[in-house]
Amino acid sequence: MASIKNLKKDINNVLGDIIEGVYIVEEANGVGPSKEGTAIIDGAIETFDELIAKVNQDDIENKKAHFNGIRIELETKANQLVDKLNSMA
């Protein structure tokens, strides 16, 4: 099983890349901060907070299943945010 440290890094990197993608798309389109971009960034930050809180839970019986569930949730939510980002471009 991958370490908790690596899971936290994955969460940070994936959601950070999505936020960076919003800034790149907005800059490439020549527009300032848009409502759609702000909503995606807010969603990424909210997802980050939720997932880190789940990683830091102490009262877990089956840790392996718990952390695998977090990885799946990260992938699902990141894909949703990327779909929204792609619709901006």
User: What letter represents residue 25's amino acid?
Assistant: V
**Contact 48/19 with Cβ under 8 angstroms?**
no
Q: For residue 23, how far is the Cα from the chain centroid? A: 15
Q: Which domain holds residue 29?
A: 4-88
SS3 assignment, position 44: helix
- What is the number of structural domains in the chain? 1
- Asked if residue 77 has pLDDT above 90, the reply is yes
Rounded (to 5) percent helix, strand, coil in the chain? 80, 0, 20
Q: How many Å apart are CA 51 and CA 30, to the nearest integer?
A: 33
| Residue 2 pLDDT | 62
User: Tens of pLDDT along 41-61?
Assistant: 999 999 999 999 999 998 889
Q: For residue 46, how far is the Cα from the chain centroid? A: 8
> Whole-prediction pTM value?
0.90
Q: Higher pLDDT residue, 3 or 40?
A: 40
- Asked if residue 40 has pLDDT above 90, the reply is yes
